[in-house]
Chains A and B, each alone.
Chain A
Amino acid sequence: MIKKNQEYSLPHHNLSDKQKDKADIELKKLRFERLKNIGAEQKIYSDLISLKYNIIDYLELGLFSEKFKFSEYLKKYVSIVNISRRNLASDLGTHETKFSRIINDKENPGLGFLYRIEEHSNSILPASLLWQLVNRKMIREIENDKTEKKKQSKLVKNKLNLRIA
């Protein structure tokens, strides 16, 4: 008896080759019918879902890579949505210059910008996910910015003098 809360393996269907061919031909026909009705909106939706899970997979790795910075994903977003950078900047209520700095990785986006991307993408790309992406790069910047670290350390008084046994 099949129970709703159980999970089951999917064994081989045991159709004959002839039956399988017939089933495949039928599916192929139905599939092509379906594909005829796929519009631009569904293409954008699908590509954004793929983009989202690409971000998730990258974040899972726990590494930083130049190829997977927020600015690179923003470029992909522009391409998927098939909109000019100027128009996207306008849609996001962001000045073109600022948008250009963000997409060219000269400036990190703020939370407000990420909320707007979430809204623009119909919530497919959550701000919380994009923030993790931004943070991944910021952590790398913090670790590598010896100049700033040195500059800031000079402003510190009474540094803890810990002797660890």
Chain B
Amino acid sequence: MFIINEISNEKIKVSISEIEVNELEKLTGFQFDWENEIDFEVFKLYSKKSNEIHGLISIARIFEELRIEIRLIELSKVNIGSKRKFSRIAGILIAFACKEAFSNGFYGFVSLIPKTRLIEHYQNKYGFIQFGKHLAVELKSSENLMNKYLSND
């Protein structure tokens, strides 16, 4: 999987792995209170070559309901706004959650609660649909995200 350098259009290979507690404590370039997420699973998206962390995601696996809830996603400071350094970070992190949801036997079901101003964004860009206050993707919508963001092409 890859992110794209917005200036050079170069594809940069990235990986996702669970972040270590000591890495969370030393984080720079991120503003959310990630140490509060210690009881959940926090994954980092990073460049394979430079180890630079571009984004973080915190998920909770709710086995009783066969779903994954995305609690937080944060792009690093340099990847926010119109002058962002890289793109596809949020998409990859959401697609990763979808992949975990298939692995867990959840039929790819991933939910989140966005702030009101972001509801349409998640619906239009990622195919989320309304489940009360939650938005969710599953099955084919999740597969589509995985095919778009987790492939090497």
Q: Which residues of A contact B (CB under 8 A)?
A: 2-4, 6-15, 19-20, 22-24, 26-28, 30-32, 34-35, 38, 42-43, 45-47, 49-50, 53-54, 56
Contact = CB atoms under 8 A, between A and B. Distances in A.
A31 B84 contact: no
A2 B108 CA distance: 27
Interface residues of B, number: 48
B112 A10 contact: yes
B107 A7 contact: no
Contacts of A11: 32, 72, 74, 115
A53 B124 contact: no
A80 B66 CA distance: 19
B126 to A, nearest CB: 10
Contact of A7 (B91, B133, B150): B91
Q: Which 3 A-B pairs have the closest CB atoms?
A: A26-B132, A23-B133, A10-B73
A53 B103 contact: yes
Interface string B115-141: 101101100110000011110101100
B107 A2 contact: no
Given A2-B117, A14-B115, A50-B102, A9 B131 contact: no
Interface of B: 32, 65-67, 70-75, 79-82, 84, 87-91, 99, 102-103, 105, 107-109, 111-115, 117-118, 120-121, 124-125, 131-134, 136, 138-139, 143, 146, 150
A46 B131 contact: no
A23 B65 CA distance: 14
A10 B84 contact: no
A38 B150 contact: no
B73 A31 contact: no
Contact of A31 (B66, B75, B79, B80): B66
A2 B121 contact: yes
A53 B114 contact: no
Contacts of B114: 10, 13
Contact of A28 (B65, B73, B90): B65
Contacts of B124: 4
Contact of A4 (B70, B80, B88, B125): B125
B115 A46 contact: no
A53 B113 contact: no
24 contacts: A3-B82, A6-B81, A6-B84, A7-B75, A7-B89, A8-B80, A8-B118, A10-B73, A10-B74, A10-B114, A11-B32, A13-B113, A22-B133, A23-B132, A23-B134, A26-B134, A27-B111, A27-B132, A31-B131, A42-B139, A46-B108, A50-B105, A53-B150, A54-B103
A13 B65 contact: no
A31 B109 contact: yes
Contacts of A9: 32, 72-75, 80, 90
Contact of B88 (A7, A20, A42): A7
